[in-house]
Structure formats: C-alpha cells, structure tokens
Structure 1
Amino acid sequence: MAQRVRASSQHNAENLFMPVQKALRVKPANGKRVVLGDLGNKSTISQAASKVLTSNVCKEKPKPSFAKVKKKCNQLQNTEVKENVIVKQVKEKPLPRFPTSMEVMGRLPSENLCQNFSQMLLNIEDLDAGDVHDANLCCEYVKDVYIHLREIEEKGAVKPMYLEGCQITGNMRTILIEWLVQVHSRFQMMQETMYLTVGIIDRFLQAHPVHKSKLQLVGVTAMLIASKYEEIFSPRIADFSYITDHSCTRAQIREMERCILKVLSFNLSFPIVLHFLRRVAKVGDASTQLYTLAKYLSELSLIDYDMVHYPASQVSAAAFALALKVLDFGEWTPTLQHYTGYTEDHLMPVMKHLAKNVLRVNEGMTKHTIIKTKYASPKQMKISTIPHLKSDSLRTLAESSS
C-alpha cells in the first residue's frame, strides 16, 4: 500500500510540474545517454527543477477574503434549509393506504365479479384443478382460452338469412353441404375440417355473394383451405378437381382460394362447435353415447340454413342439453350453467330447432339424410337409429318450435 501511495504521489508531482521538466532538460555530460542509465526509480529532476519544486510547495497560499467566506457560509445555510424542507415534506406525506378486498373486487369487470360470486355461492368445483400435471390441457389458462373464443365468435358472427337477395338459396346451401359431407368422408378427414369448411362458406358468401354456377367451386375451395388449416396431410388440388369430375379446374380452385382468403383477410381462427362441445362434455362428465349423440345433433345443424346465426357455443350447449333430455341422463346443472354461460331458458330456442331437425329426418319430411346415414354406422354407435330419438318428449319439443 505504501508503495502504491508513493508511486502515485510521485506521478502526480511529475504531472503537476511537467512544464518545468521540459524547460529544464539537461543533457548528459558525455553528450550520449548511458544505456538504461536514466531509467529506474531514481529521480531524474535536476537541481534547478528541485529548487522550483521546493519553492512552489513551501509557498503559502493567500488567505481568502472575508466576503468570500461570508458567501460560502450563506450557500451552506441555504442548502441546509432546502434539505430540512425536503425532509419535512417527506415526513408530512401520508403513507399509501392499501385497498380493501371489496374495493379490489369493485374494480374488476362485472362479468368476472358475478362469476366469482356465483362460484363461491354455488360451491362450483374447479374441474381443471386435477389437470395440473398434464401440460397438453393447459389448465392454468384454459378458462381464459374459452373466454377469448367467446369474444371471437361475437365479432365474427354470421347474420341470419344472409342469402336474401342473392341467386343462391338456403336449399342450394343445404345440397352443397350434404355433398361436402360425402367428400369429407371420402377423404377421411378430421371432424374439425368439416365444421371449418361450413364456417368459411357462410362467412365468404355473406361478404362476397357469387353466382350460383360457382357455388360448388366455393365449397370445394373452402374445404381445401380448411384441410390445409386442420389436416396433417391435406389432399391435393388435383384431388379436389377430380372429385368434381373436373368441372372445377385446378386453376379455378387456385383463383377462388386467393379470393376467399382475401375476403376473409386470412382470418380462419373462428371457433367451431366442436371446440365448445368437448368442453361441455368434460364438465358434464359425458359418456361415449351421450357425447356421440350431442355430435349428431350438432352436425344436423350444419345443413339447417335457419340456424346459421346461432353462435357455436350456444349450439354445442343446446345439443348437449337435448342429449341429456333424450337419454334421460340428468338435467342442466348449475355447474354446466357456470362453465357454459347459458341457462336452460337461453338454450330452449336452439333445442327446439335441433329437435325439429331430428323429427324431419326420422319421419322422412326431408330428403337430406346423409348425416343420419353417416351416424347410423357402427363406427358412430348407430346413434341416429336409437329409439330415444322417437320419443314423445322430443316430438313435443319439435312441434313447439313451429
């Protein structure tokens, strides 16, 4: 430490009196510099320089005047006064008061507040608490996901009777969707692809009406887009052209694909019935038969033009509630009401529509029976042929809708 202080003091002295050293440089007596003779820890300052150093160091500094001392004292007093004022302001400032629990709840949105109170009063079980160890179920934010889906479906809702004034009628739409159900089965695609196809068709025709001669082209292209969105291996454009007996060429399908995506602004993330139906089935602890019947009722709504304006969440909840009634598996519980957001009274108009569709298919009042044939297979548990669908309660519910 002493060496460091000594070295630094010597370095400072050299920096301070550098001009003196430059002025008083003395050459060696020989005229030549001895090798490493001038380097080392020895001081290289001459006698003349040392006299200047001693004279500058020993010289006393002039004493400051009385006016300067008084000015300095006033500055110190002003700073002390300011510090005292700041300290007083800090002491006088009241401490922040933490809000109470009721005040915090008052700031929450009314929907979340009602949901929290209903969950406390009705003692609703948290059905996602047991899925903590399964990362695929996303139990931490699954409720937020379904709230977001409900917001999306409100923004992208389909208008009722949107085909009025167009060349395409509701019956044409039904024929197209029935044919697409057969194409969907032929290609063995996922269930989500069929629902997304119908959603694309309705939203495109609502915003961009086309001539009836292009309706099949719209349907095929919508299924192509949906298969790209949902399937792992999507059928090729040539496959869709072949399925139409080449009435829709590959160039026409590509052109219509660009048109549909442009009209929809590439937005294909709207919710479908299956998204909500799986959630309702988990809440209701549904059996395989109950879930399959709810799927059958939901798929019948695809070909019903009068039901295009019902949101997917309401259709799924109504299909599950009607399946509970048909199979006599229970009633619409407060837990189902809490997680779906619908009471049985809200679901009753949709349940009547679904019961009417079942009655028309069973009694031959319509020739559109492709979906009934599809669910009559053993793969679908022959759910469309069960005797419960011919009960008097279902008939009464269907007749009350007209």
Structure 2
Amino acid sequence: MPVAPSNKAQSNKQPRASRALSITENVPQEKEEGCQAKRSPSSPQGGPKKRSAFGDITNSHKNQTVTGKKEEVRAPIRKETRAPPAPTVAKNNEINLKKSWRKNPPADVPVEPEKDSVPEETVQVVVVEDIDKEQLGDPYANAEYAKDIFDYMREREEKFLLPDYMEKQPDISRDMRAILVDWMVEVQENFELNHETLYLAVKLVDHYLVEVVSMRDKLQLIGSTAVLIASKFEERCPPCMDDILYICDDAYKKEELIAMETSILRTLNFDINIPIPYRFLRRFAKCARASMETLTLARFLCEMTLQEYDYARERPSKLAASSLLLALTMKNLGGWTPTLEYYSGYRAQDLHPLVKRLNFLLTYQPCDNLKAVRTKYSHRIFFEVAKTTPMDMMKLEEKLKS
C-alpha cells in the first residue's frame, strides 16, 4: 500500500490508518441512530484501503293562529304539497323495482342477494394500521406527508428503470461492475458513509453507463466520482476530493475527477434524486414492526444485490419488499400483512418469484472473491446476519404458499 502524501494528512476528513472507522446505520425505529455503533469490521486498522478496482337543508312550515275577541278562531291551514327531490324518487323507484324483481324475476335479469341473507362469516374486515400517527407531533418526522412522499417515489421509479446497457459496453463486463461495487462497499465502510450514499452511488454509475460508452481504465474513476456526488447529496460532511483520490491509489488527477463529476451531472441532467431500495426498506420495516435484527437481515439481503447486474433492473420498491418478506419468512415472523400490502402496493403473490431468487443468491454466492458485503454483515454489530443459514427451497415454497 502506498504511503499517503504528507499534505493529504491535513484534510478535514482523515480516513487514515490512525483513525478507528465505523459504520453508521439508519434505523427506522425511534432511536435508531444509537442502536448500532459505527465501526468498520473489514478494515481492522480503521484506515481506508488504497485499491485499484473497477350533507341537505329544508324550510319548516308552522301553523298560524288568529285570536278573536270572544273565541279563538283557528285559521285554515293550507297544506302545500311538495314533490320530493328527483334523486329520492329515482332511488325509491329503484328499490321498488328490485323488490318486484325478487318476487317475479325476469329471465334475463340476475337477482341480487339481499344484504340480510349474507352470512356474517363471509364478511372480512381488513384492518390497516396507521404507522405514521405516532409521529404526528414530531416536526422532524414529516409524518403528515410520509405517504405522499413514498407515493411520489413510486411514481419516479418509472423514470429510472434501467435497460440492459451491457450490450453496448464493449470494454466493460458484468464481472468488472461487480468488482467495482465490491470496492465501493469498502469505501462506504471506511469513510463511515450512510448506506443511502452507497445505494445512490451505484445507481449513478449504472445510469451513467446507460448513456456513455466507457473504457475499463475509467471505471474506477466513474465509481469514485459517483461516491463523491452521492456524498454531497446525502451526507452532512462529505469526504474531500483529496481523500477520494487517495483511495484510488492516486491513479487519477484532481482535474480528471472534476471533469468526470461534470460529465455525470450533465449526462443525468442534474436529476440525481433516484429512488433506491434502502429508503423503501426502512419504510416497509416500520410497517411490519420489525426488530433491529430482522431489519439488518433484510438489509444484508438487499445489499447483496448491488453487485449483481441482473438485480439492477428490478424496481427498488419491489426489491426492498421482497428482501423484507424473505427476512420475515426466515425468522418465522409471519407473512405479508394488510398493512404491508397497503403501504407497499404489492401483494405477497407479486413478490414470491423475487423472494425465491434472493434465497438462491443467499445460498449460492456467485463469486467467492467478492466478500465485502458478507464480511461486513458477519460482524457482531450487524448481529452476524451473514452467517444465517439460508432456507431450503422446498421449505420456502411451502411457507410462501401457506
């Protein structure tokens, strides 16, 4: 490993070997930020690795009385006949017509069953929990707008669906992309970046490669620049440019990094608010009242898909929902509830094929050399969820059907 230049050691954010680095977890419960300590299990010394990689109103009429001298004479009351409103007449006619049909049903008109004749056992009441009511008093939670925000993100998914762009990349393969993402996971760990930053950075790489043909020697520059852009979008304190160049083993110059940042932003028309699975996963876990351990298992399943090109074209919301459903099934915590169906927009049957694929990915890891995600989630801070035994495919099939 090359020695860091002396002038880079004075940067604001110093990811060096002398600093104990850690990982931050954004947890959907009330005090999630303090649930898991920041730590970087894949880097024992804590320093970043240098690595080259790729309602109705009516009037009331009252009786009027006339008083005489000797006796009361009651004035005649003129009763005014008023026709009921047209909708009421039409409604009564419809009811009478239906009654006559039940007594003498025509041959070509089906008879509707009366409500009283429906057994009570056939009436099913679906209860959907309001998961945002507990935070209505919190000005920082934006609970009044939470559902609208996630509905908007679901709409934006249509704009950011990825095509199969590898066909037009002559010098880049799926394996090179997997190596690059594996390196980006290590960067996220060592710089203590949010998981949203990692997911967004991977999305930026994919959407840039859809539009621009690139060579393999520029792939790490694209990945590191995507991390820098995502950090500026997601982090309170993003890493400085010198740190980004340092972890690339000084393979690129500052001018190249700035030029690539300009190229990515212009290519994407500065629209980088791309929906990512991690945000949906936190929302759905809140609907399921999932524990921290169950949520971490779902995060591990979801993060494993970052390296796999076949999962890049899946909808982020569907990928998050499937990861949570598999985690709930592995923990024997029940299936897809009406609350989850309401807030996610997916039925359990819609998720079963993707759930099976995720379990297959967990069982048979494609490449043994790319271990950043598994090593990260094998640490006790993450409940060692990477060591969880995958489900048997036949047993999973039975549980999903039940």
Alignment TM-score > 0.5, same fold: yes
**In the alignment, which residue of structure 1 is the partner of 2:65?**
none
CA gap 1:207/1:306 in 2 versus in 1, 3 angstroms: same
Q: Which residue of 1 aligns with 2:160?
A: 156
Summarize deviations over 1:261-310 as a string: whole Å, max 9, x none.
Answer: 00011111111111111110110000011100000000001011111111
Aligned to 2:377: 375
Provide the secondary structure at the position in 2 that maps to 1:168. coil
The answer to whether the Cα contact below 8 Å between 1:204 and 1:260 also exists between their aligned partners in 2 is yes
Name the residue aligned to 2:183: 179
Aligned to 2:144: 140
Q: 1:245 aligns with which of 244, 249, 255?
A: 249
Task: State the 1:338 CA deviation.
Answer: 1.2
Query: Are 2:303 and 1:299 equivalent residues in the alignment?
Result: yes
Question: Alignment identity in percent?
Answer: 35
Q: Match of 2:53?
A: none
Distance in 1, matches of 2:210 and 2:173, equals: 12
CA displacement at 1:230 relative to structure 2: 1.0
Shift of 1:129: 2.2
Match of 2:258 in 1: 254
Deviation at 1:378, TM superposition (A): 1.4
- Match for 2:126 among 122, 126, 136? 122
How many residues align structurally? 276
Given that 2:136 and 2:143 are in contact with CA atoms closer than 8 Å, whether structure 1 keeps it comes out as yes
The 1:394–1:370 alpha-carbon spacing in structure 2 relative to 1, beyond 3 Å, is farther
1:196-240 per-position Cα deviation (integer Å, ceiling 9, x unaligned): 100100111011121122111100110011111111111111111
* Residue 365 of structure 1, CA deviation: 5.7
CA contact (8 A) 1:360 1:366 kept: no
TM-score, length-normalised on structure 1? 0.65
1:391 matches 2:401: no
The alpha-carbon deviation at position 395 of structure 1 amounts to 8.1
Mapped to 1, the partners of 2:327 and 2:255 lie a distance apart of: 45
| CA apart distance, 1:157 | 1.5
Change (3 A) 1:218 1:394: farther
**Deviation readout 1:309-329 (Å, 9 max, x if unpaired):** 111100110000000111111
* Native 8 Å contact 1:376 1:383 kept in 2: yes
**CA distance 1:395–1:176, shift in 2 (3 Å):** farther
Q: Kindly indicate whether the alpha-carbon contact (under 8 Å) linking 1:220 and 1:240 is maintained by their aligned counterparts in 2.
A: yes
Q: How does 1:75-90 map to 2 (within 5 A)?
A: none
Gaps of 5+ in 2: 1-84, 88-123, 398-402
Amino acid at match of 1:150: R
Task: Give a deviation string over 1:137-170, Cα, whole Å, max 9, x none.
Answer: 22222111111000111112112x3211312111
Distance 2:367 2:278 in 1: 27
| Aligned positions of 1:184-263 closer than 5 A | 184-263=188-267
Change over 3 Å in CA distance of 1:213–1:347 after alignment to 2: same
Question: Counterpart of 1:45?
Answer: none
Q: Distance in 1 between matches of 2:162 and 2:143?
A: 31
The one-letter code matched in structure 2 to 1:286 is A
Using the alignment, how far apart are the partners of 1:203 and 1:270 within structure 2? 10
Higher relative contact order (CA 8 A, sep 6+): 2
- Structure 1: give runs of 5+ residues left out of the alignment: 1-94, 98-119, 398-402
Tell me how far 1:337 sits from its aligned partner: 0.9
1:15 corresponds in structure 2 to none
Kept after mapping to 1: 8 A contact 2:377/2:384 = yes
Distance across 2 between alignment mates of 1:251 and 1:306: 34
- Letter matched to residue 140 of structure 1: E
One of 272, 282, 287 as aligned partner of 1:278: 282
Q: Max radius of gyration: which structure?
A: 1
Structure 1 residue ranges, 4+ long, deviating more than 3 angstroms after superposition: 393-397
* Pair 1:343 & 2:333 matched: no
CA distance in 1, matches of 2:144, 2:212: 40
Task: Return closer, same or farther for 1:133/1:258 CA change in 2, 3 Å cut-off.
Answer: same
**Aligned residue for 1:61?**
none
- Residue 358 of structure 2 is aligned to residue 354 of structure 1: yes
How has the CA–CA distance of structure 1 residues 297 and 141 changed in structure 2, closer, same or farther, with 3 Å as cutoff? same
Residues in 2 aligned to 1:189 and 1:232: alpha-carbon distance in whole angstroms: 10
For residues 193 and 282 of structure 1, the distance between their equivalents in structure 2, rounded to whole angstroms, comes to 21
Q: Which amino acid aligns with 1:375?
A: Y
- For 1:366 and 1:348, the matched residues in 2 are separated by 27
Q: Distance in 2 between matches of 1:124 and 1:235?
A: 43
Q: Which amino acid aligns with 2:275?
A: P
Shift of 1:391: 3.3
Distance 1:162 1:132, change over 3 A: same
Q: Does structure 2 retain, via aligned residues, the 8 Å contact 1:355–1:394?
A: no
**Per-residue deviation, residues 65-116 of structure 1 (Å, max 9, x unmatched):** xxxxxxxxxxxxxxxxxxxxxxxxxxxxxx9x9xxxxxxxxxxxxxxxxxxx
Q: Which has the higher helix share?
A: 1
- Paired with 1:126 and 1:139, the residues of 2 have a C-alpha distance of 10
What TM-score do the two structures reach when normalised by structure 2? Answer: 0.65
